[in-house]
Amino acid sequence: MTKNLVIVESPAKAKTIEGFLGKEYQVKSCFGHVMDLAKKDLGVDIDNGFLPKYVISPDKKKLVSELKKLANEAETVWLASDEDREGEAIAAHLMEALNISESKSRRIVFHEITKPAILEAIEHPRSIDRDLVNAQQARRVLDRLVGFELSPLLWKKIKPSLSAGRVQSVAVRLIVERESEIKNFQSTSAFRIVGDFIVKNGDKLVPVQAELNKRFHTLDEAEDFLKKCIGAEFVVEDIETKPAKKSPAPPFTTSTLQQEASRKLGFSVANTMRVAQDLYESGKITYMRTDSLNLSNLAIGMAKQEITDSFGPEYVKTRKYTTKSKGAQEAHEAIRPTYMNVQTVEGDKSHKRLYELIWKRAIASQMADAVLEKTTVTIGVSSAKENFVARGELIKFDGFLKLYMESTDEEQSNGDERILPPMKKGDSLVMKQIEAQQKFTQPPPRYTEAMLVKKMEELGIGRPSTYAPTISTIQRRDYVVKEDRPGINRVFQLLTLKDGKITTDEKSEKIGSEKSKLFPTDIGTLVNQFLTDHFMNIMDYNFTATVEEGFDEIAEGKLVWNAMIKEFYNPFHAQISNTLEGTKKVSGEKLLGTDPKSGLNIFVKIGRYGPMVQMGDSDLENKPRFAALKKGQSMDSITLEEALDLFKLPRVIGSIENEDVVVAAGRFGPYIKFQSQFFSLMKSDDPLTVTLERASEIMAEKRKLDSEKTVREFPEDKGLKILKGKYGPYISFNKLNFKIPKGKVAEELTYEECKVIVTDTKPTKSSKSRKSK
């Protein structure tokens, strides 16, 4: 039995801290929240001052009883959850769930996992901050009320199982609005003039490129200018040299790590977090879910040493960064290597690459500024009032650039970093050629996952622990898809002046191709339309920031938590009731045209199972026909012809032994049905043209695969089989699956043994019930 029980949130942290404290201390982890609102109904008693119904989270019951036993045995329980709103609530919930008395418990906090910080914390315990706990409770209750009143409204008004919430709905709105900005974007063009010149540098002739300080709107204007340049003289009119500096980016937070890993390594945010979690658990980096830019003094000291050793003392410049992001709670350090002198790690490629990125960024943040010299050369044209301008940049001292340069989402800048040859006022240049290229304005870019995280952080929506899950949620709900899309070719004009002659060319460039970008789906767009029509207050980009102000006041003891909730809830609930009664079901129905054969109207709309086309009006005597849209089709872009094609299924393509072979489109794509068995078509098969011959091939393949999958069959019972799955053999009995007991060999099981297993043991959970988790 130990005298002191310390409880932290993360098990990896527990291990480290146990090393800092003596034998008198046992350090355990509670794995985050242990209590939450009851999942059944609202979990909030609205008529009773919004009294929350907290229960021990079902998956934490075992853990809580273990901790309770240890707490009972200990003299003192140290509640060392994170120092933020959620951490304070975790501490309060632990006291309740473990039944720890006020006198036995101590609340301690630390921002960094270093021995001095932990010992310091132990020296200065405090009691639970009830105001902060109430602020968390207000946050939790508000999110529950919003989510559990809005979602059922969507089930009634659009389709079942949809979801809405303070964070996810605004994330979807960002993507829907960006798409509509792109769709409505009016591109304009102008001619950009770039000249290639030669300047004498001693005996050598050196090329210099310069851009005109004016763009022309029309081809004629551009051509007029080029004509003026024929036979003109080009002279250096002015040279300006200015010192400049560049500073390193601060060390990583969750959000900036996700962005850089996306840009530099092409990682999805989920992948970044998975790899970072591994690095954290193996002790390579500090905690990866943080909004803090802070580095411990220990870390800064290690960085200083490492920079001095690797680059020299002149490369050191230690810095303290302060956060600018909205709602940052800064319970942890910034993300950094645990040991700043370790430049790389063992492991697979993605672990190495992410670690090296973290190491470089953290070290560079403590390095000297880069010292630059920026030069601007103005070149006059004897026959025109416009000037050419050449810009150059010279690195006088590289500083942090020796190690690391942050990347940006924008396309690279127009060659500002060139080095110019030495020139002086009055020098004349020889013109080699001048090009006038038609340049088009660009619509705003579509979001990558990481760009969306950046935007959410700017708006204060979501937290480091929820960025990746939120992005998964909106994709899983089919509000948004991450896709590649091919671009289109666009023609542009190019005028070239060379050897005293002007030529005009038409060239083409690929534009608008996208890789791993977020696109709204039809359902996402419709749900967003509905929510912005009726709940603009919740969908407002400032909604979270506004309620956060309320939570802050609660935390400061200036506002009573349920008074704030009441003020929010009463009008919100009235909105829900009004919308429930005052609006019809929405389907986004659109008339596409009429069927030339029957003259019936063709509609496209969202049905219970997603986007579909409908032939015939709903109120007619005859029932309309329906067909689901194919993958890749959208309500917005589908044509009448494509819609009519969808009604061509199901079709009988022939018969085998007097039984029809039918091709149809199902929930999971096109399939063949024969003798009440199903066979999926391949992507390359077109269900409208597939032949009986090809269908036979597909069926034979599937049957072969099935027979390979079967380990054993039993003549006694056709419903009982031993099959080989991805995770080894298992028993299948009337569509239920059972594990094979340890120590048994699948091939040797007898019919009787199998019978015992399927009657005595529980079937494994099907993928359907898992999905609802």
Partner DNA sequence: CAGTGAGCGAGCTTCCGCTTGACTT
Q: Which two tokens stand for residue 754?
A: 């199998």
Give least dist CB 54 to DNA, A.
11
CA pair distance 760, 410, nearest whole angstrom: 62
Q: Per-residue b/e over 131-141, b at no fewer than 16 CB within 10 Å?
A: bbbbbbbbbbb
Give least dist CB 19 to DNA, A.
16
312 to 351, contacts with DNA by CB under 7 A? 329
Residue closer to DNA (CB basis): 287 or 530: 287
**Applying CB under 7 A, which part among 24-32, 124-132, 201-209, 384-392 lies near DNA?**
24-32
Residue closer to DNA (CB basis): 111 or 246: 111
Among 131, 739, 746, 755, binds DNA (CB under 7 A): 739
**Residue 287: active-site member:** yes
Letter for the amino acid at 472? S
Among 226, 592, 628, 653, binds DNA (CB under 7 A): 628
428 to 487, contacts with DNA by CB under 7 A? 462-466, 469-470, 473, 477
Residue at token pair 């989510």: 147
Residue at token pair 């409208």: 688
* Selection from 267, 312, 272 nearest residue 288 by Cα: 272
254 to 313, contacts with DNA by CB under 7 A? 277, 280-281, 287, 289
Among 18, 20, 32, 237, binds DNA (CB under 7 A): 32
Q: Which two tokens stand for residue 740?
A: 């094979």
639 to 678, contacts with DNA by CB under 7 A? 650, 662, 664, 666-669, 671, 673, 676, 678
Chain centroid to Cα 26, Å, comes to 38
Give least dist CB 719 to DNA, A.
14
Residue closer to DNA (CB basis): 250 or 464: 464
750 to 769, contacts with DNA by CB under 7 A? 764-767
* Site membership for DNA, residue 93 (CB under 7 A): no
Among 54, 77, 79, 85, binds DNA (CB under 7 A): 85
Give least dist CB 634 to DNA, A.
15
Phi and psi, residue 180, nearest 5° = -75, -30
C-alpha separations of 129 from 78, 169, 331 in Å: 15, 32, 15
Peptide bond into 650 cis (omega under 30): yes
Torsion angle of the four alpha carbons 727, 729, 734, 736, in this order, in degrees rounded to the nearest 10: -30
Residue closer to DNA (CB basis): 502 or 600: 600
* Site membership for DNA, residue 770 (CB under 7 A): yes
Give least dist CB 251 to DNA, A.
18
Residue closer to DNA (CB basis): 321 or 626: 626
Q: How many residues does the chain have?
A: 773
Give least dist CB 75 to DNA, A.
26
Q: What DSSP character marks residue 402? A: G
Give yes or no for a contact between 624 and 616, defined as CB atoms under 8 angstroms apart: yes
Phi and psi, residue 506, nearest 5° = -110, 125
Among 52, 165, 399, 421, binds DNA (CB under 7 A): 165
Residue closer to DNA (CB basis): 609 or 751: 609
CA pair distance 431, 216, nearest whole angstrom: 20
Give yes or no for a contact between 684 and 699, defined as CB atoms under 8 angstroms apart: no
Residue 638 neighbours by CB distance under 10 Å = 21
Give least dist CB 687 to DNA, A.
11
Letter for the amino acid at 260? E
Residue at token pair 């009320």: 145
Chain centroid to Cα 293, Å, comes to 21
Residue closer to DNA (CB basis): 156 or 515: 156
366 dihedral zone (left: phi>0; alpha: psi -120 to 50; beta): alpha
**Applying CB under 7 A, which part among 295-303, 385-393, 437-445, 623-631 lies near DNA?**
623-631
Give least dist CB 199 to DNA, A.
58
**Applying CB under 7 A, which part among 120-128, 234-242, 481-489, 625-633 lies near DNA?**
625-633
167 to 196, contacts with DNA by CB under 7 A? 167-169
Residue 260 neighbours by CB distance under 10 Å = 23
Active-site annotation holder among 287, 315, 447, 671: 287
Letter for the amino acid at 120? E
**Applying CB under 7 A, which part among 118-126, 156-164, 218-226, 554-562 lies near DNA?**
156-164
520 to 579, contacts with DNA by CB under 7 A? none
**Number of residues in contact with DNA, rule: CB under 7 A?**
90
CA pair distance 254, 600, nearest whole angstrom: 55
Residue closer to DNA (CB basis): 385 or 683: 683
Among 618, 691, 710, 761, binds DNA (CB under 7 A): 618
**Applying CB under 7 A, which part among 107-115, 405-413, 562-570, 604-612 lies near DNA?**
604-612
DSSP, collapsed to helix, strand or coil, labels residue 72 as helix
Give least dist CB 63 to DNA, A.
10
Give least dist CB 619 to DNA, A.
9
Phi and psi, residue 375, nearest 5° = -120, 135
Residue closer to DNA (CB basis): 41 or 238: 41
Give least dist CB 450 to DNA, A.
17
CA pair distance 611, 520, nearest whole angstrom: 13
Q: Which two tokens stand for residue 445?
A: 């870019």
Chain centroid to Cα 472, Å, comes to 7
Letter for the amino acid at 208? V
356 to 385, contacts with DNA by CB under 7 A? none
Give yes or no for a contact between 395 and 378, defined as CB atoms under 8 angstroms apart: no
45 to 84, contacts with DNA by CB under 7 A? 57, 82, 84
**Applying CB under 7 A, which part among 166-174, 374-382, 564-572, 687-695 lies near DNA?**
166-174
Residue closer to DNA (CB basis): 326 or 482: 326
Residue closer to DNA (CB basis): 220 or 617: 617
Among 584, 623, 631, 683, binds DNA (CB under 7 A): 623
Please name the residue ranges forming H helices in 520-583: 522-534, 536-539, 543-555, 561-582
134 to 153, contacts with DNA by CB under 7 A? 139-140, 143-144, 146-148, 151-152
* Site membership for DNA, residue 41 (CB under 7 A): yes
CA pair distance 677, 588, nearest whole angstrom: 35
Give least dist CB 596 to DNA, A.
22
Q: Is 358 exposed, middle or buried (0-12, 13-18, 19+ CB in 10 A)?
A: buried
385 to 424, contacts with DNA by CB under 7 A? none
Residue closer to DNA (CB basis): 89 or 431: 89
CA pair distance 158, 172, nearest whole angstrom: 16
Residues marked as catalytic? 287
